[in-house]
Amino acid sequence: MTNLNVSARRKSTLFRFQADRLPVAIFTAILIVDICVFAFVSSWPLVLAWSLATVLPKVCICSWNHHHQHVPFFRSKVCNRLMEIVFALQTGAVSNVWVLHHNIGHHENYLDQTKDESAWRAPDGRAMSANEYTLKLAATGYWCAFKNSKAHPKIRRTFIAMTLLHLVLVAALVYINPLNALLVFIIPMTIGYLMTCRHTYDHHAGCSEEDEYAASNNIMHKWYNIFTGNLGYHTAHHLRPGLHWSKLPAFHATIAHKIPDANFLPPGLPVGFLPAE
């Protein structure tokens, strides 16, 4: 009986927060179908159709990868690394890349555009366009993460090891079936990575560089926050970056009166077509 109780307790504590169970099941299921399509579907129009159908969901998954790299889903390191393999194959962002670039680089410096790893101001002080920002951040993201990792050797080891593993996995997929690898994995990965960079611009570009309550844009749209795990509560996220995504709405309610109206924005398309409530 004691052994059964211990086993049940272990199962109940596998997830740090039970709210993560459904997202993890969905993301894992998508990867399983990805692998099945890659391995068993030889008709390129069908493979392309699957790729197109999953691009937007995988863009949304990028937000959940972001959440995981702030607050890991599992208590087990092994489970977290396995989850990060799933995320990397869907979003192009490997273990700890956003911990190093986003958590350490961006969150600590987002009020100082001269230090922010995700700065929306160019070195000459002008505000970058969305396209310029996206391309610059995408091109330098991994390099900046690597530079930041020098001060964090433990995080660096995982980052380098998982980056190499990801490259090996992608190379193996390309070797086995180049076209299916391109359509099922590489193109959605690339789009997801680029859109992650673009969303950071939307969250901060043009915002205050002095007032932490006016330094982030917020999106209160119901479906946007369902799809992104409450990423729209962005001021709350920056004030308490270690707070689990499921708890952001409650914290936001305590600070909403301090956020200027100008920092509440509607979602972009296609979510903007969906009802707000």
Q: What are the residues whose beta carbons fall under 8 Å from the beta carbon of 128, sequence distance 6 or more? A: 120, 121, 122, 136, 201, 205
Domain boundaries, the chain: 17-196, 213-271
**Cis, bond preceding 270 (omega within 30 deg of 0):** yes
CA-based nearest residue to 106, from 197, 194, 195, 191: 197
d(CA 246, CA 277): 18
d(CA 118, CA 78): 30
Burial (CB count <10 Å: 0-12, 13-18, 19+), residue 92: buried
**With the CA atoms of 268, 273, 274 and 276 taken in that order, what torsion angle do they form, in degrees rounded to the nearest 10?**
60
pLDDT value of residue 273: 83
d(CA 277, CA 274): 9
Sign of the dihedral through C-alpha 106, 216, 61, 121: negative
Tokens read off for 166: 């990801």
What parts of the chain have a pLDDT lower than 70? 1-12
**With the CA atoms of 261, 197, 102 and 99 taken in that order, what torsion angle do they form, in degrees rounded to the nearest 10?**
130
pLDDT value of residue 13: 82
pLDDT value of residue 129: 97
Bridge partners for 264 per DSSP: 218
41-83 per-position pLDDT tens digit: 999 999 999 999 999 999 999 999 999 999 999 999 999 999 9
Q: Could you give the angle at which helices 77-91 and 187-204 cross, rounded to 10 degrees? A: 100
CB 233 within 8 A of CB 252: yes
SS3 26: helix
pLDDT value of residue 11: 53
d(CA 276, CA 63): 19
The one-letter code for the residue type at 109 is: N
Neighbour count for residue 243 (Cβ, 10 Å)? 17
